[in-house]
Structure 1
Amino acid sequence: MIWNYSATPLTMPGGSLTGEAIAVSDPGMIVGWVDESFTSRTLPVLWDTTGSPTVLNSSSATYGGKAYDINSAGVAVGALYGYGSTALGALWQGPATFKLHPLPGDADSEALGINDRGVIVGASSGLSGRRAVVWMGPGPSKSVHPGGVWTESQAEDVNDQGDIAGWVRNASGVTHAFLWHRNGTTADLGPGGRIRAWNAQAFGINNATDVAGRTTVRLSTTGTAWYASTQVSHFALSDATLAYAISDNYRVVGSFTPLNGYSVAFAATTPFTYDALPGAPPNYSNQAEAYDVNFCGTIVGWLQRFNVGRRPVKWVKAGCDES
């Protein structure tokens, strides 16, 4: 172990058995979801800095909701499922819940990222396909779909300057990682700089405009980091490696799947400097995924509990990463 991370399963709201922690803010607030006991619904949850959970409002949604991101002010975004159609983006701010509507003519929306300025990104879906969108707070959605050869797109994450990471897809199903710059220009990050690569997706972005994602060649998927959208590093920890997030201190987190078929969470600073994140014995295995990491290096995701299922978890270490 390089950094000596330890795993702490998060407190579950009453009766819930499974769930995931999906995002962590720099102050240490966490969001994700848990199952609702004895129903088919999921509940969006916010854990405060002490680890105490609060179930966010999803009462109007048939299948509940999930929270996908949170900013430093504690404003969370996500989606309500089964609301009228399939999904409707949601913004939770204090006790208030705001609906984030899709583009005119579309049926569905999901909010996937929010920055400290309140800029929200995600996707709007309808008969014309899936298109990347931006919301300014609870206002109307605005398309940032690049068009041209790209028939679909999705915005996954936004940094505090307003740069957006996501992906675009053409009619043949080829997917490229994509960057929307704050000044209105865009950058096709392509298939991750790999020769004969087929597809790439970007999932996370930091304030230096470094991007984390994945690249696929044939049956092999490699975690990928694009540094300042030029230099590319590949985290090939197995034939199935995903990089979900990159911190302002260049810590990349994600998962890899060894030959036994069970995913393992990892943290890395270079393709050759990484830790497999631990389980929490005796009740938890090390089967896990890491979805997000904050400035200090706190990591969140899920950890497998024996005979139960996925449980939300955070991994912590001594000290704060230094910029």
Structure 2
Amino acid sequence: MRHTRRTINVLAGVLLVTSAVHLPGAGTASASVQGCPVTTDKWEAVDLGVVGAALDINDRGQIAGWRKGASGESQAILWDKGKITEIGTLGGRESRAVALDEDGRVTGYSDTADRRTHGFVWHNGKLEDLGTLGGYAALPKDISQGTVIGETRVLKENGTRRGQAFVVRKGVRTDLDLTGGSEAEDINRSGQIAGTHRRTEGVGLPSDKQTQRAFLWKDGVVKDLGTLGGDWSEARGLNGRGQVVGESALGTDGVLQGGFVWSAESGMRRIEDGNGLARPAAINDSGVIVGLHSCETAYSTAYPSVWTDPGKAPARLPDPPGGVAKAVNAVNAKGEIVGMALYSGNQPHAVLWKPKPMN
């Protein structure tokens, strides 16, 4: 089960879209008059010591991510008990690790000697090439018990490009049967997959009309999760209980949007945003949500934040010393959160937020 938010990166010339425990009192910080939450004192931010970003963390405290090499290239790495292991590439210059499972298997993508983008799985020092998985570029998004899910980029006969959601289980690739293009974002230990698919809704639609919908997939059965009243929704995270978080349009114009949490029991509910914008990235089995929160509008500054109750205001995560927190990408069962902060010179640094001991 991955707990990430999306990052955007160019690797091998291809545009790539890459993204707890319940702590009592963590979400009790109330919003200010402007709708901006106060900074929580329940976590402390630690610079992990590399220029790059941390994208996932498992319950063992292992962290997957990337760091910038001497020549500016991105290098996939694994943190484990303070030790950094370079995962390497599939013959090219760059790679990124995007997710890992509880057994320490890491998935991500790498360029090759012929500048293609291939997916990979790394475990115990062995790097397995997954290829492009039927398209021109493979973008794994998550891994659980060795099963990899993600998106492969496909070039259609008419020259258009689209994504195709896939799952690779025991070496066998299966494309999710979804219309109009699709992305698989997250998988849990039960084999449920959350993602987004593009819906086909007739001829003559404006080219900018969004019709994508969040979905939950299990054993070939697709559940459309609906919207918060608008035309589109997108899934971002999934927990072991089958709860999904993401974003949705609030009205038919598709402009105003909000964060949501979906469950089979309650359907889709809006996450409290104080008249700002909630952009959830992940949810754990206790229902704790992490993501970004903009205080006023979609165009105002977004802060890494945590919700311990979707109906209450979020708490802002603290900045690391000398840096400004910019992204929150994952949270494990211990409440450890990983992400990224910007430092002097606009340099990204990998960051870990550690829960403070409770008195």
Coarse TM-score class (shorter-chain normalised)? 0.7 to 0.9
Change (3 A) 1:221 1:53: farther
Instruction: Report if aligned partners of 1:244, 1:291 keep a CA contact under 8 Å in 2.
Output: yes
Structure-to-structure mapping, 1:13-162, within 5 angstroms = 17=51, 19-39=52-72, 41-48=73-80, 50-58=81-89, 60-62=91-93, 64-81=94-111, 84-104=114-134, 106-115=135-144, 117-128=145-156, 129-137=162-170, 139-146=171-178, 150-162=179-191
Instruction: Report if aligned partners of 1:267, 1:276 keep a CA contact under 8 Å in 2.
Output: yes
Moved over 6 A (4+): none
1:193-229 Cα deviation digits (max 9, x unpaired): x12x132111211110011111134333322211237
Structure-to-structure mapping, 1:265-276, within 5 angstroms = 265-271=304-310, 272-276=312-316
Q: What displacement does 1:45 show? A: 1.3
Length, aligned pairs only: 300
Change (3 A) 1:189 1:309: same
Normalised TM-score (structure 1):
0.85
1:226 maps to which residue?
Answer: 262
Counterpart secondary structure, 2:104? coil
Residue 185 (structure 1) aligned with residue 221 (structure 2): yes
2:320 maps to which residue?
Answer: 280
- The code of the aligned residue for 2:101 comes to N
1:107-135 Cα deviation digits (max 9, x unpaired): 221111111x2111011222233111011
Counterpart secondary structure, 1:270? coil
Q: What displacement does 1:20 show? A: 1.4
Separation in structure 2 between the aligned mates of residue 319 and residue 246 of structure 1, nearest angstrom: 22
1:262 maps to which residue?
Answer: 301
Residue 165 (structure 1) aligned with residue 194 (structure 2): yes
Instruction: Report if aligned partners of 2:44, 2:356 keep a CA contact under 8 Å in 1.
Output: no
1:135-163 Cα deviation digits (max 9, x unpaired): 124x24211132xxx21001111001100
Q: What displacement does 1:38 show? A: 2.6
Greater Rg, structure 1 or structure 2?
A: 2
1:276-321 Cα deviation digits (max 9, x unpaired): 000123x112x3221111112111111222333221111111369x
Separation in structure 1 between the aligned mates of residue 45 and residue 142 of structure 2, nearest angstrom: 25
Counterpart secondary structure, 1:278? coil
Change (3 A) 1:51 1:212: farther
Instruction: Report if aligned partners of 1:79, 1:110 keep a CA contact under 8 Å in 2.
Output: yes
Q: What displacement does 1:86 show? A: 4.3
Instruction: Report if aligned partners of 1:251, 1:297 keep a CA contact under 8 Å in 2.
Output: no
Separation in structure 2 between the aligned mates of residue 204 and residue 151 of structure 1, nearest angstrom: 21
Instruction: Report if aligned partners of 1:101, 1:141 keep a CA contact under 8 Å in 2.
Output: no
Separation in structure 2 between the aligned mates of residue 277 and residue 288 of structure 1, nearest angstrom: 10
Counterpart secondary structure, 1:11? strand
Separation in structure 2 between the aligned mates of residue 230 and residue 131 of structure 1, nearest angstrom: 29
Separation in structure 1 between the aligned mates of residue 265 and residue 70 of structure 2, nearest angstrom: 44
1:253 to 270, 290, 299: 290
Change (3 A) 1:226 1:152: same
- The code of the aligned residue for 1:96 comes to K
Normalised TM-score (structure 2):
0.77
For CA contacts below 8 A with separation 6 or more, give which structure has more relative contact order. 2
Instruction: Report if aligned partners of 1:131, 1:143 keep a CA contact under 8 Å in 2.
Output: yes
Task: Show structure 1 runs of 5+ residues with no match.
Answer: none
Q: What displacement does 1:21 show? A: 0.9
Q: What displacement does 1:55 show? A: 1.7
Counterpart secondary structure, 1:307? helix
Separation in structure 1 between the aligned mates of residue 90 and residue 152 of structure 2, nearest angstrom: 22
Instruction: Report if aligned partners of 1:22, 1:30 keep a CA contact under 8 Å in 2.
Output: yes
- The code of the aligned residue for 1:201 comes to E
